């Protein structure tokens, strides 16, 4: 299944049914009077977050959603049938934007969360509604109210505990495959990862968290270079970021600064998230050279830098337990923390 995290669709709720003009005409009933029924209510457009979807690919092929019109009223004061609602199922983490792509209408960040985006029109009144002491035989009936319609944008932001960031070929996909059961594409060329990947990291029967890998960033990604920075939306909800730096880079400090600049250019809040730095591919250098670059990066960043090698599993367990401890503490201290669902 292809991954799609953005789609534009058209939605329209159902119009209300029309009221009718009708009169009761029965033998031996001299003054039957008006008995035209009201129209039925049109169907609503409802969005619901479900946990068995992880892409918006279905909306590439189906882009128009319309609810049915309510039934018209009839004689004997019979109200028209209300139409069924149209329930559109989307992945957890889907945001709904207005056509301007800026106005947020809804954020479906929990399983089962629903939002009625377009309400169906009310049915029109039949002539029985308008009878009075001075108007015994009204011949007025209203049409149903029109439903709501709009173009909207759906944007999926995956929900994970920790997010992987770094330059292309920093070893993010290899790290994800070692740390979890995910099997992303791994190859020795830039931009191997073309769409986000989720993996469940299980350290014990009670300790687990969701790790997200996104396509690599390059200098100028916020201006559209490479694959751009749109995929950073998938790590906005993470508790922390794991920044992998290729230890074989000529200047590891500049490599780290490049990604930091792109995070700041994308969103200030994202750049303020807690960051854990890992110098990956440590097996390609001698222990002395690896320690030298570790001390150099620690001095520049002012924080602990982990030495690791996803290929040989060196230091992987240590950094995973560090991630788990931070995430556990974050959940305890943040009542609004959004629990990710297990990736399928």
Beta-strand pair 94-98/149-156: antiparallel
Q: How far apart are CA 241 and CA 127, in angstroms?
A: 65
- Strand ranges (E), 113-227: 114-118, 149-156, 162-165, 197-202, 208-213
Name which of 315, 2, 323, 81 is nearest 178 in CA terms: 315
Cβ–Cβ < 8 Å for 256, 301: yes
Residues 6+ apart with CB under 8 A from 71: 17, 39, 40, 80, 81, 82, 83
**23 half-sphere exposure, CB direction, 13 A CA radius:** 13
Q: How far apart are CA 195 and CA 216, in angstroms?
A: 10
Beta-strand pair 274-280/197-202: unpaired
What residue numbers does the annotated binding site for Mg(2+) cover?
173, 193
Number of H helices, E strands in the chain: 6, 14
Q: How far apart are CA 333 and CA 137, in angstroms?
A: 68
What residue numbers does the annotated binding site cover?
166-173, 191-195, 213-216, 280-283, 309-311
Q: How far apart are CA 33 and CA 326, in angstroms?
A: 75
What residue numbers does the annotated binding site for GTP cover?
166-173, 191-195, 213-216, 280-283, 309-311
Name which of 203, 197, 162 is nearest 183 in CA terms: 197
């Amino acid at each position: 299944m292809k991954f799609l995290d953005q789609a534009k669709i058209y939605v329209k709720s159902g119009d209300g049914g029309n009221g009718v003009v009708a009169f009761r005409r029965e033998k031996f009933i001299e003054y039957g009077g008006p008995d035209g029924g009201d129209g039925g209510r049109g169907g609503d457009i409802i969005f619901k977050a479900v946990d068995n979807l992880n892409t918006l690919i279905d909306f590439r092929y189906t882009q128009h959603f319309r609810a049915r019109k309510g039934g018209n009223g009839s004689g004997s004061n019979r109200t028209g049938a209300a139409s069924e609602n149209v329930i559109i199922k989307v992945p957890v983490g889907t945001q709904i934007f207005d056509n301007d792509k800026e106005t947020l209408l809804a954020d479906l960040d929990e399983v089962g969360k629903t939002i009625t985006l377009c309400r169906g029109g009310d049915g029109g009144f039949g002539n029985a509604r308008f009878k009075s002491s001075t108007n015994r035989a009204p011949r007025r009936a209203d049409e149903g109210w029109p439903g709501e319609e709009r173009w909207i944008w759906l944007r999926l932001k995956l929900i994970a505990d920790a997010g992987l960031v770094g330059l292309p070929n920093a070893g993010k996909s290899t790290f994800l495959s070692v740390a979890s059961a995910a099997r992303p594409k791994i190859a020795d060329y830039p931009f191997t990862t073309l769409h986000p990947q989720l993996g469940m990291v299980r350290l014990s029967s009670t300790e687990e968290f969701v790790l997200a890998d996104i396509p690599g960033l390059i200098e100028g990604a916020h201006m559209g270079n490479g694959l751009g920075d749109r995929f950073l939306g998938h790590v906005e909800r993470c508790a922390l970021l794991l920044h992998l730096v290729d230890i074989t880079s000529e200047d590891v400090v500049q490599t780290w600064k490049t990604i930091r600049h792109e995070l700041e250019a994308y969103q200030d809040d994202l750049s303020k998230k807690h960051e854990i730095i890992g110098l990956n591919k440590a097996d390609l250098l001698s222990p002395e050279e690896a320690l030298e670059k570790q001390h150099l990066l620690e001095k520049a960043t002012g924080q602990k830098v982990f030495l690791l090698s996803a290929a040989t599993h060196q230091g992987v367990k240590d950094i995973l337990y560090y991630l788990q401890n931070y995430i556990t503490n974050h959940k305890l201290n943040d009542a609004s923390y959004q629990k990710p669902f297990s990736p399928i």
